[in-house]
Amino acid sequence: MSQMIEFDEAAAKAVEAMYLTPDVVGQRARVLDMLSPKPGERIIDIGVGPGLLAQDLARLVGDTGRVVGLDMAPAMITMARTRLAALPQAECVVGEATALDFADGSFDAAVSTQVYEYVADMPKALAELHRVLRPGGRALVLDTDWRSIVWHSSDEARMARILDCWDGHLADPHLPAKLGPLFRRAGFTVARVEIVPMFAAFWQPVSYAAGIMRAIHGYARGNGAKYGLSEADVQEWYDDQLRLIERGEFFLSVNRYAFLATR
C-alpha cells in the first residue's frame, strides 16, 4: 500500500536542495541535450517542481517561446514562480498530469522528470501528453527504477526492508521498464532511451546520495511500521550508513531512465 509524499513547503525545499547538487545538475544537462529545445518553441514541464529545468527551458526558447510549468502542489508552484519571475515567457499553473487544461496540439515539446512514477493512471497521463502535443511534437520523460539500486550496508536484510518501505512513496517504483510499451500504446514512437545514473562510490555531503539518504530516513521513520521496521531499526540503518561513511565504505548507485518519444 503506497503512502505518497506530500509536496508541501518543507518537501519543496528538500527537493530543491537535492536537485541543485552536481548529480542532478548533470541530469538536467542530459535531458536538455536529448530534447534540444529551440528558440520560439512552446514547451510544457509537467510536475515542474522547484522550476530548475523550466528555468533552463525558458532561457533556451527565448522571449519568442513559451514555457508552462504545471504541478499539482501549490508549494512547488510558489517556488517555481519565484524562480521564473524574471522570465516573462514562463508561467506556472497548478494542475494535474492526468487532466491537462490545454487545447489539443498546444505544445511543440513536453518534459516530465521524476513525476510519472507518482502517477497511478499512466495510460491517462500519456493520453493527455499525446493530446496537448502537436503532431511531430517531442516528449522527454525521465524516472527512476528503484530495482536498479546497489546500496552497500552491513545488514542487507534491513536494507531490503528500508527500500521496500521507500518503494511505497511511489505509485510505481519500477515505471521505466514499462515506459516503452506504455508510450507505444498511447500512440508515440520511442526515439531514444538513455540511462542516467545517480552514482556515489564515496561520500560527498552535497550530493544526490546525501539528499536521498535524508529523505528515506525521514520517510521510513513515519512509514516503517508497515514493513516491520521499528523506529530503532530505522535509526540503526541510518547509523550504520554514518559508520560506513566514516570508514570510507559508502557506496550507492541507482539508475534513472530518460525516454525521448515523438507524437
Ligand X SMILES: C[S@@+](CC[C@H](N)C(=O)[O-])C[C@H]1O[C@@H](n2cnc3c(N)ncnc32)[C@H](O)[C@@H]1O
In 107-140, which positions are buried (b, 16+ CB within 10 angstroms) versus exposed (e)?
bbbbbbbbbbbbbeebeebbebbbbbbeeebbbb
Q: How far is the CB of 248 from ligand X (least distance, A)?
A: 30
Stretch that binds ligand X, among 41-49, 59-67, 201-209, 244-252 (CB under 6 A): 41-49
Regarding 49 and contact with ligand X (CB under 6 A), the answer is yes
Q: Does residue 71 touch ligand X according to CB under 6 A?
A: yes
**Nearest position to ligand X, beta carbon:** 49
Q: Is 211 in the site for ligand X (CB under 6 A)?
A: no
Q: Tally the residues of the chain.
A: 263
Residue 236 binds to ligand X (criterion: CB under 6 A): no
For residues 37-68, one letter each, b for 16 or more C-beta atoms within 10 angstroms of the residue's C-beta and e for the rest, the string is: beeebbbbbbbbbbbbbbbbbbebbeeebbbb
Residue 205 φ/ψ, nearest 5 degrees: -65, -30
Q: Which residue has the cell 498546444?
A: 106
List 37, 47, 173, 176, residue binding ligand X (CB under 6 A) = 47
Assess 97 for contact with ligand X (CB under 6 A): yes
Residue spans of beta strands (DSSP E) within 3-123: 42-46, 66-71, 90-94, 107-113
Return the residue matching grid coordinates 514562463: 90
Q: Does 19 participate in binding ligand X (rule CB under 6 A)?
A: yes
Which one of residues 118, 146, 227, 250 is an interface residue with ligand X (CB under 6 A)?
118
Choose the binding region for ligand X from 34-42, 68-76, 174-182, 184-192 (rule: CB under 6 A): 68-76
Three-state DSSP state, 73: coil
Closer by beta carbon to ligand X, 72 or else 190: 72
Task: Report, in Å, the least distance between residue 56 CB and ligand X.
Answer: 11
Work out whether 137 is an interface residue with ligand X (CB under 6 A).
no
Chain residues binding ligand X by CB under 6 A are 7, 15, 19, 47-50, 52-53, 71-73, 76, 96-97, 113-115, 118-119
